[in-house]
Structure 1
């Protein structure tokens, strides 16, 4: 108790990080919307580390000029991990289905540049939760559903690794299996994590890869004096992963054609006036597109086209902030990713062999310090709303920036110098839900009108609450399966790992 008290006092007094605010955070999240529904993403977003000269295909402005695809079977709105994963799963499905005479025509539409939303702006973690939040989920949906939610994350991580390994792309996307260390700054954090662990283990979830550390053990291994738990975890370059999936989808089979139009925002989705042909028309500044199926993969911006999703019963846009900052030694944090303060802060070290060329590790004075990607700091804005309903990622919040700059020198004494400015700082917009769980399935409005009626053919996978990398790929697989089943008039069969509390189509 003395250890926790002294550490909490030191952290509060020297780094200005509010602790134990999850309960208040949830209360604010569930309050009525404080701003209008989101507009289109701003055109002048801050520059993300992941988006600076990654030298991948598709290029940022791919398909932004020239002829527009005007007719498609499936229109996917959003070119992040959800939209591109959905295209990948559809292509995989049709690669093994040679019965069609004509290819399924699919188009991805992106308001800005390729993968320029939350996926291209996040912290770069691909880490499934082995037990975190188990009791919360069990209380809301039961133990079986809680176990499925965790299984989906493990499935995502394992499947992504398998795809990259098979395609020999692990090094290309900077995939690092370095594990994750969860640091506990308060007794409450520690006790809640232990309770989740015990409950998940009692439910039969394998915990053999989970290791608990005392503050002394954490000091010896990581030079930080907080109790911790070590879990399996991965880090990667998110944009490069999405690029790999896109190219695999585009070249999978002659039964599936894929096109991409960036800088082509969808301004509305309306029913076609035609009695035959495609039922949906997507309006864009470049002209209309007719299609049979629409997948909303816009996450925080879903309420732009589906206005009933605005507010705490839908998806709440939430601005996050990230910095790239140097430690004072070349291998300060090794290969491990970290999270702390109830998940508000998350960080991982870039490896010297894979660090972006713009941020070379060799300087005129010798090796430079290890580059760390650190996100978080929203809790510093608790008096102004935790950045909920903030969709302008063209600016950074100075209050959040101060917290991020002070955080690592306090958590790892001697590893980071005070007053060091980050080499990059950017923002992105996440989509939060009050249950913390995404919406996956047919579009259903607040009045219960499902895609079986007015919105038939429209689907959604969105609302990951800042935890999209280990969930979006699998959610996209589920929704792609729903679309493929509906095309041939079959009933969709949920995968064993899919949590049915994600599913929007309860009447199907």
Structure 2
């Protein structure tokens, strides 16, 4: 570990006996200002294609059989035609296919032929943010409620949490109904937010009180005093526990894809082509119809509809989404390290702290004598004054930290077992873009070129409890269109997510 790391990660790296005040790392407000400030380049360049040599992620690379779909379809001939081309094989892209097939099967439409759905992925299956995140499946309970209520309105603020509750609970339901809990390492233990400063504690209580006044259900939130946290877990800070799970993201999305393909039936066909980067989407108009040509390094596909599920890389194909008004590639870092004590002392919950800039949780153990493996992420504020914004290269890492918030439970001389980076898609509002792409460009004459293209992207580092729900919305929109029905907005969907409320011109 390098000497400078001690300084920049003082609250997590210090090995002294006295607790360290982490206040200097509380940079949520400052990071937002940086996020809203245009970079020096004018105009901001769009994202590049994902790097050819990404760092090795624990989820993807920790065992030879971790990713059975890694190169799936990469050598199969590309179809010349498809009805729907989904660009990106993460939880969003696979989620759109999953939901669309569920809708088709439940509706029992009269169809002339199966709907042809093709998923295209630039690298290996789930090689982007979904395969590189921290593994949390925890919906936010109430943090930032007062801010959202002030910026939007009470109904919008409530829906922010309802969408996350819907998404997380739906995924857990799917896992449990299909018997996938052990296959996906689903762990329920709740999530504890540590509050390092008086301001964090005050703001959290304000958010809780405002949310409760707005009738948001917070019955499962448990406040923990400093003494309770220290006695139970060994961390000298107050906090609160909220419901939550952890999961192996790659295994979950693999199951979702396999389930969707197995249940495509007579209404749809589903294929996946990895290592097939899409380099362009061109618009073709004939006398009777309008189609798109999706250009890849392995050939082209003519398709009726395109779904952009590329999150941080969205501006590569949609360059008007580059810059603060669009989706900003942002690099995050994660590592695994071994605890020096057993699960009886580490316990099982997942954690976050420093205003969400750091998180960690212990992996399930296979035998009682095993020391837990800890997944740790965060630290963007220490790596760069720009918070790693506008960085789309996940082929490099920086020195990370060990969580000495829990004094004596981690060996300061131990080296991380794995370190990796992932690229998140951030937006100025903190919320994703969901809906027809053309609606982002209503006043732009080029907007007509994007009709029947859709997007769900820009989760701002909080995709696991939001992406699958946003994918459901896109699937519903497409299904309504092909079945000549009016799309009905879900009660849990925030209005501000929708592209017609998010112009970028």
The TM-score, its normalising length taken from structure 1, stands at: 0.91
CA contact (8 A) 1:442 1:450 kept: no
* 2:415 is the alignment partner of 1:424: no
Q: Distance in 2 between matches of 1:324 and 1:78?
A: 26
Give the stretch that moved more between structures: 326-335 or 462-471: 326-335
Q: Which residue of 1 aligns with 2:51?
A: 42
1:9 Cα offset (Å): 12
Matches within 5 A, 1:246-261: 246-252=257-263, 253-261=265-273
For residues 66 and 9 of structure 1, do their structure 2 counterparts lie closer, same or farther at Cα, with a shift above 3 Å needed?
Answer: closer
* 2:472 is the alignment partner of 1:477: yes
Give the stretch that moved more between structures: 426-435 or 483-492: 483-492
Matches within 5 A, 1:79-158: 79-98=89-108, 99-158=110-169
For residues 506 and 344 of structure 1, do their structure 2 counterparts lie closer, same or farther at Cα, with a shift above 3 Å needed?
Answer: closer
1:58 Cα offset (Å): 4.9
1:337 Cα offset (Å): 0.4
Q: Distance in 1 between matches of 2:336 and 2:365?
A: 14
Q: Which residue of 2 aligns with 1:455?
A: 450
Give the stretch that moved more between structures: 122-131 or 12-21: 12-21
Q: Which residue of 2 aligns with 1:312?
A: 324
Give the stretch that moved more between structures: 185-194 or 57-66: 57-66
CA contact (8 A) 1:442 1:451 kept: no
For residues 257 and 449 of structure 1, do their structure 2 counterparts lie closer, same or farther at Cα, with a shift above 3 Å needed?
Answer: farther
CA contact (8 A) 2:148 2:157 kept: yes
Give the stretch that moved more between structures: 36-45 or 120-129: 36-45
Matches within 5 A, 1:346-357: 346-353=359-366
1:505 Cα offset (Å): 2.7
Q: Which residue of 1 aligns with 2:3?
A: none
Q: Which residue of 2 aligns with 1:199?
A: 210
CA contact (8 A) 1:25 1:382 kept: no
Q: Which residue of 1 aligns with 2:372?
A: 370
Give the stretch that moved more between structures: 57-66 or 450-459: 450-459
* 2:232 is the alignment partner of 1:221: yes
* 2:38 is the alignment partner of 1:29: no
Q: Distance in 2 between matches of 1:266 and 1:450?
A: 24
1:149 Cα offset (Å): 1.1
CA contact (8 A) 2:365 2:371 kept: no
Q: Which residue of 1 aligns with 2:354?
A: 341
The TM-score, its normalising length taken from structure 2, stands at: 0.91
CA contact (8 A) 1:83 1:476 kept: yes
| RMSD across aligned positions (CA) | 2.2
Q: Which residue of 1 aligns with 2:11?
A: 11
1:200 Cα offset (Å): 0.7
For residues 246 and 486 of structure 1, do their structure 2 counterparts lie closer, same or farther at Cα, with a shift above 3 Å needed?
Answer: same
1:118 Cα offset (Å): 0.1
Query: Match of 2:383, SS?
Result: helix
Query: Match of 2:278, SS?
Result: coil
Q: Which residue of 2 aligns with 1:356?
A: none
Q: Distance in 2 between matches of 1:31 and 1:342?
A: 21
Give the stretch that moved more between structures: 222-231 or 10-19: 10-19
1:397 Cα offset (Å): 2.0
Q: Distance in 1 between matches of 2:500 and 2:481?
A: 13
Q: Distance in 2 between matches of 1:300 and 1:283?
A: 20
CA contact (8 A) 2:67 2:250 kept: no
CA contact (8 A) 1:340 1:346 kept: yes
